[in-house]
């Protein structure tokens, strides 16, 4: 079984947005950051129209994944990840 999580991704500024990118480039960065957590990141996701944008990503995680553990992963500077589990 898997659980669906929502990752809200934001940037500290436009330079961080340019560095981490959007779409597949951003998804690849997240795959690298969470490489040992067995998460499935989509290459396409919703975003708002602010500058820099905020992205809303539906991520599949193993049923045994600990959301608190995921929240404690060291995310590089400039990138902010808020993880929501709607099925608590």
Domain boundaries, the chain: 1-83
E strands present in the chain: 2-11, 46-47, 55-62, 79-84
What pLDDT does residue 24 have? 97
Q: Is the pLDDT of residue 88 over 80?
A: no
What pLDDT does residue 75 have? 97
- 1-83: which CATH topology? Alpha-Beta Plaits (3.30.70)
**Tens digit of each residue's pLDDT (9 = 90 or more) over 46-76:** 999 999 999 999 999 999 999 999 999 999 9
What pLDDT does residue 1 have? 79
Distance between alpha carbon 28 and the CA centroid of its chain, in Å?
10
Q: What phi and psi values does residue 22 have, to the nearest 5 degrees?
A: -125, 180
């Amino acid at each position: 079984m898997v659980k669906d999580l929502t990752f809200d991704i934001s940037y500290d500024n436009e330079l961080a947005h340019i560095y981490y990118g959007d779409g597949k480039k951003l998804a690849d960065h997240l795959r690298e950051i969470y490489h040992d957590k067995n998460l499935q990141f989509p290459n396409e996701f919703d975003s708002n129209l602010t500058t820099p944008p905020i992205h809303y990503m539906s991520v599949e995680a193993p049923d045994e994944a600990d959301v608190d553990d995921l929240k404690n992963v060291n995310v590089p500077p400039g990138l902010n990840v808020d993880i929501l589990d709607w099925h608590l």
